[in-house]
């Protein structure tokens, strides 16, 4: 069986977000099509339990879907921000922390992003640079191209910049501490608040030599990208038919299309998939098959 979540489009001050699979309480994904039409993701979990999400996922998260997958179309800089860890967010605010990854699905010439600090600074200098607007001068800027991957753990300063089209996979959380927002108003015309004190406490001030996630690119093979406590994501860059064995996996699988199009088959069910869309495979399924169309099919495979 395959489930197709109905995408949720959100206009933002910097561009737009398309939420293609969401367990976030205020914007739960609703299924469309022949399977589970009109049912939210959390309703499906309540109905199917471990058959949908897997035994361990059900134990850890109950009837709350643990991930949020979205596409970000960036036309103006996102705010410079940082996310707290699960432990910090729970202890301070009773909220989930936020770990995420970015897969660059597209990039205009000269596009880039911020990730990590480029030079040492103290918490006191951090506060001073936020106050005088110079904080971006000490954040590492990275040129990007399609296929680039960045893992953003809690504590890492980051922001997307114009010209980036990003697939983002994250914990189902909106725990974000805004550091700098270019003195611009939000969509309501009011300044968006900064969270300098909270950010100061959770930031990782270390300078790393490399903030990118490197992987071996390969066609027609499952290529690991990111594995962390909250999700595991791999890449399939397909030129021909491909079958994926899921029989030993105790988890749902989210299939997120980041390029091309084609069809996906699972059991007696099949569905089309194209760039910017997502399908959900229940944990009870033993396998899934892909049939690329046209110039191929590129998908992210995510489980917990």
Q: How many CB atoms lie within 10 A of CB 283?
A: 23
Grade residue 190 by pLDDT with cuts at 50, 70 and 90.
confident
The pLDDT of 265-278, averaged and rounded, is 95
Average pLDDT, the chain: 95
At 166-186, the pLDDT tens digits run 999 999 998 999 999 998 988
| pLDDT recorded at residue 37 | 85
In this prediction, residue 36 carries a pLDDT of 78
What pLDDT is attached to residue 26? 86
Angstrom distances, CA of residue 247 to CA of 127, 227, 244, 287: 51, 19, 9, 6
Tell me the per-residue pLDDT of 195-205, one tens digit each, with 9 for 90 and over. Answer: 999 999 999 99
Give mean pLDDT, residues 90-119.
Answer: 95
Q: Would you state the torsion angle of the CA atoms of residues 87, 227, 204, 78, taken in this order, to the nearest 10 degrees?
A: -100
- The whole-number pLDDT of residue 280 equals 97
Map out the domains of the chain with their CATH numbers: 4-202 (2.60.120.10), 222-303 (2.60.120.10)
- Give CA–CA dist 44/52, Å, rounded: 7
What band does 21 get if pLDDT is binned at 50, 70 and 90? very high
The answer on pLDDT for 34 being more than 90 is: no
Tell me the percentage of the chain whose pLDDT exceeds 70. 100
Average pLDDT over residues 236-253: 97
Render pLDDT for 132-143 as a digit per residue (tens, 0 to 9).
Answer: 999 999 999 999
Q: Is the pLDDT of residue 189 over 80?
A: yes
pTM of structure: 0.96
Residues with Cβ within 8 Å of residue 84, at least 6 apart in sequence: 92, 97, 98, 154, 155, 175, 177, 198, 202
Mean pLDDT of 256-283: 96
Residues 32, 71, 75, 159, CA torsion sign: positive
| 213 DSSP assignment | P
pLDDT value, residue 188: 86
d(CA 153, CA 181): 21
Compute the distance between CA of residue 273 and CA of residue 279 in angstroms, rounded to an integer. Answer: 8
Which of these ranges, 91-100, 114-123, 199-208, 216-225, has the smallest mean pLDDT?
Answer: 91-100
């Amino acid at each position: 069986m395959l489930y197709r979540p109905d995408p949720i489009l959100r206009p933002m001050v910097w561009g737009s977000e398309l939420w293609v699979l969401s367990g976030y309480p205020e914007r739960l994904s609703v299924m469309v099509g022949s399977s589970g039409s009109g049912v939210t993701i959390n309703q499906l979990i309540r109905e199917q339990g471990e058959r949908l999400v897997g035994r361990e996922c059900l134990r850890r998260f109950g009837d709350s879907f643990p991930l949020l997958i979205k596409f970000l179309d960036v036309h103006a800089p996102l705010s410079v921000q940082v996310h707290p860890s699960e432990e910090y967010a729970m202890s301070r605010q009773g909220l989930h922390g936020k770990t995420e990854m970015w897969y660059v699905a597209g990039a205009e010439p000269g596009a880039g992003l911020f990730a990590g600090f480029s030079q040492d600074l103290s918490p006191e200098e951090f506060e001073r640079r936020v106050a005088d607007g110079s904080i971006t001068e000490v954040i590492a800027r990275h040129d990007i191209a399609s296929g680039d991957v960045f893992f953003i753990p809690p504590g890492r300063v980051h922001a997307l910049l114009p010209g980036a089209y990003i697939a983002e996979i994250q914990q189902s959380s909106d725990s974000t501490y805004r550091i700098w927002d270019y003195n611009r108003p939000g969509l309501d015309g009011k300044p968006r608040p900064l969270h300098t004190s909270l950010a100061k406490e959770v930031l990782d001030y270390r300078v790393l030599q490399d903030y990118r996630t490197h992987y071996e690119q390969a066609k027609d093979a499952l290529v690991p990208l990111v594995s962390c406590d909250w999700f595991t994501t791999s890449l399939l860059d397909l030129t021909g038919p491909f079958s994926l064995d899921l029989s030993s996996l105790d988890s749902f699988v989210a299939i997120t299309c980041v390029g091309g199009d084609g069809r996906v088959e699972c059991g007696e069910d099949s569905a089309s998939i194209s760039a910017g869309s997502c399908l959900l495979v229940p944990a009870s399924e033993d396998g899934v098959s892909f049939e690329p169309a046209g110039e191929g099919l590129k998908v992210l495979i995510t489980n917990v």
